[in-house]
């Protein structure tokens, strides 16, 4: 591939990731608030509902890898999924915000609809992430430099998309409310944004078709990755287990904040509209961080990037607790700070797991690199489940109810939930990774090159 063609391919991949992220960008942000304040479901019931949904999604994340690996499509391993999900995902997004109050369903039925919609959303996004990682591997081969460029561009595309979602998401919801009603404004906004997912999947499918070779229908079943293979690949690869545990803890911390930040603007500072401004500033800062932090990360290495990034993330979370209670601007500044810290390591993306996959293949001769990429979704799913549960049950524990009178004690307790708890969990994640992770960047490069030579020898034979 010439340098010009490589640049073009990276740009196409980045655009597809950007559109997919825009398409799913506001679904998670408003889910808790929508359920408590519009569906009028108690905070405890919301937490239980989302915990069930996200645990089911977590269980499903263990089988999406084998499903993708085992599927036999005429047009390749990954490409057909893009065309399936361009329709399926927008449907799941919208059902998550269906105004079931208007349908007069019992609470248990309304919660069941949310569970089913969320599981569909989660499974679909898991497959999207697997396909992104698959295309990244196919387009970059064993070239670690190309892998780094693709993953960095993916992080930058995500940051840029978040700016769009932050600036327009709440504004669009508030704009639609006079026309469609407060509750329906959420589902309408989600559907409008979902156009990005539709277009992004189509673009990625078209681009991936150049690299994703069709798998013969008579391919040996022994080559298919099973659930047992996934468990064996983790159990026999201690480095992969360390990465999964550290990232899972981090995503739990991150999702505690994400699940309840809307309540900060709505109740702590009584300025819900400012949430859009705050998130836009944070997202713009994230985009700048996504351009700068990968360069810093490349200098200090993947391990140091994650350890120090998590430590700084925790420091800014503690800052929210101490200084964010009275000032929405300090809250916003601290959120910018921990976002920049996150990009120190998140810009490496799936490469942490891919390095573990290369390590496992080098050590054992068993190629579970595709499984490693599939496992990248697992920490996120654990984070979604654990973070939302901690955030929701935390609200219930401090006495939150929709329309309640806000007291100084409630605000103080809320700031502990949104600041101290995520900060403490993130420090634990940093400690786990610092003690347990041993693969250096030079090691990863050596493993990838040796494995590429091994694969070439097999093809020649």
User: What pLDDT score does 270 carry?
Assistant: 85
Residues of the chain with pLDDT > 70, as a percent, come to: 89
Give counts: helices (H), strands (E), the chain: 18, 0
Query: Whole-number mean pLDDT of the chain?
Result: 83
**Cβ neighbours for 299, distance < 8 A, ≥ 6 positions apart:** none
Residues of the chain above pLDDT 90, percent: 22
- Picking from 18-27, 148-157, 219-228, 284-293, which range would have the lowest pLDDT averaged per residue? 219-228
Check residue 329 and give its pLDDT: 93
Instruction: Read off the pLDDT of each residue in 251-264 and give the average, rounded to a whole number.
Output: 89
> Alpha helices of 236-350 — where are they, by DSSP H?
238-263, 274-300, 302-323, 328-346
Neighbours of 288 (CB within 10 A): 15
Find where tokens 């929405």 sit: 328
pLDDT confidence tier of residue 250, bands split at 50, 70 and 90:
very high
How far is Cα 137 from Cα 332, in angstroms, rounded to an integer? 36
- Between 344 and 435, whose confidence is greater? 435
What's the rounded Cα separation, in Å, for the pair 200 and 370?
Answer: 22
Q: Could you give the 3-state DSSP secondary structure of residue 328?
A: helix
Dist CA 27 CA 90 (whole Å):
10
Complete DSSP assignment for 373-418: HHHTHHHHHHHHHHHHHHHHHHHHHTT--TTPPP-HHHHHHHHIII
Rounded to whole angstroms, how far apart are CA atoms 225 and 138?
A: 18
Structure tokens at 16: 């597809």
Q: Which residues contact 363 (CB under 8 A, 6 or more apart)?
A: none
Q: Is residue 263 a contact partner of residue 33, using CB atoms and an 8 Å limit?
A: yes
**What pLDDT is stored for residue 2 in this prediction?**
59
- Which among 373, 324, 387 has a CA at the least distance from the CA of 132? 373
Point out the least confidently predicted range of 87-91, 112-116, 323-327: 323-327
DSSP tag of 222: G
For the segment 123-142, the average pLDDT, to the nearest whole number, is 79
What distance in Å separates the CA atoms of residue 337 and residue 313, rounded to the nearest whole number? 7
- Tell me which of 57-61, 79-83, 116-120, 298-302 is least confident: 57-61
Looking at residues 203-222, what average pLDDT do you find?
Answer: 67
Question: Tokens representing 351?
Answer: 């490469």
In CATH terms, the fold of domain 3-216+224-460 is Growth Hormone; Chain: A; (1.20.1250)
Query: Residue 221 has what pLDDT?
Result: 46
Does this model's pTM top 0.85? My answer is: no
Collapsing DSSP to helix, strand or coil, 366 comes out as: coil
Higher pLDDT, 256 or 461: 256
Tally Cβ neighbours within 10 Å of residue 426. 30
Question: Could you read off the pLDDT of 402-457 as tens digits, one per residue?
Answer: 777 888 899 999 999 999 999 999 999 999 999 999 988 888 888 888 887 777 77
As a residue count, the chain comes to 461
Distance CA 329, CA 421 (A): 21
pLDDT tens by residue, 356-366: 888 887 877 77
Collapsed DSSP state (helix, strand, coil) of residue 72: coil
Tens digit of pLDDT for each residue in 373-417?
667 778 888 887 888 788 888 888 898 887 778 888 999 999 999
CA distance 422 to 251: 9
Please tell me the distance from the alpha carbon of residue 101 to that of residue 114, in angstroms, as a whole number: 13
pLDDT at 286: 80
Q: Report whether 433 contacts 305 (CB < 8 A).
A: no
Place of tokens 């499918």: 205
């Amino acid at each position: 591939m010439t340098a010009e063609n490589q640049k073009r391919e990276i740009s196409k991949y980045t655009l597809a990731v950007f559109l997919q992220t825009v398409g799913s960008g506001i679904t998670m942000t408003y889910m808790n608030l929508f359920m408590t304040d519009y569906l009028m479901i108690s905070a405890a019931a919301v937490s239980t509902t989302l915990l069930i949904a996200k645990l089911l999604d977590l269980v499903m994340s263990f089988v999406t890898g084998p499903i993708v690996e085992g599927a036999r499509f005429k047009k390749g391993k990954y490409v057909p999924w893009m065309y399936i999900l361009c329709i399926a995902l927008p449907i799941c997004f919208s059902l998550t915000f269906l105004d079931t109050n208007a349908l007069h369903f019992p609470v248990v039925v309304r919660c069941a609809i949310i569970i089913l919609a969320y599981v569909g959303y989660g499974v679909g996004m898991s497959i999207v992430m697997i396909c992104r990682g698959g295309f990244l591997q196919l387009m970059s081969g064993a070239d670690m430099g190309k892998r780094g460029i693709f993953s960095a561009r993916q992080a930058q595309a995500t940051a840029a998309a978040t700016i769009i979602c932050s600036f327009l998401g709440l504004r669009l919801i508030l704009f639609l409310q006079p026309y469609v009603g407060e509750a329906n404004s959420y589902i309408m906004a989600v559907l409008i944004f979902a156009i990005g997912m539709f277009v992004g999947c189509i673009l990625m499918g078209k681009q991936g078709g150049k690299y994703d070779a069709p798998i013969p229908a008579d391919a040996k079943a022994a080559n298919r990755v099973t659930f047992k293979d996934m468990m064996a690949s983790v159990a026999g690869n201690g480095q992969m287990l360390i990465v999964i545990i550290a990232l899972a803890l981090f995503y739990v911390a991150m999702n505690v904040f994400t699940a309840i930040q809307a309540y900060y603007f709505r109740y702590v500072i009584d300025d819900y509209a400012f949430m859009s401004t705050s998130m836009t500033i944070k997202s713009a800062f994230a985009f700048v961080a996504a351009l700068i932090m990968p360069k810093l990360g490349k200098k200090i290495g993947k391990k140091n990037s994650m350890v120090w990034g998590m430590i700084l993330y925790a420091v800014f979370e503690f800052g929210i607790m101490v200084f964010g209670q009275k000032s929405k601007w300090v809250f916003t500044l601290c959120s910018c700070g921990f976002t920049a810290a996150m990009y120190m390591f998140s810009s490496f993306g799936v490469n942490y797991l891919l390095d573990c996959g290369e390590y496992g293949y080098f050590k054992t001769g068993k190629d579970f690199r595709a499984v490693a990429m599939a496992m990248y979704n697992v920490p996120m799913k654990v984070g979604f489940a654990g973070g939302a549960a901690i955030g929701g049950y935390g609200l219930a524990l401090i006495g939150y109810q929709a329309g309640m009178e806000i007291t100084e004690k409630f605000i103080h307790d809320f700031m502990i939930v949104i600041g101290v708890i995520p900060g403490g969990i993130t420090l634990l994640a940093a400690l786990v990774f610092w003690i347990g992770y041993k693969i250096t960047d030079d090691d990863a490069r050596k493993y990838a090159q040796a494995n590429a030579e091994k694969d070439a020898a097999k093809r020649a034979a």
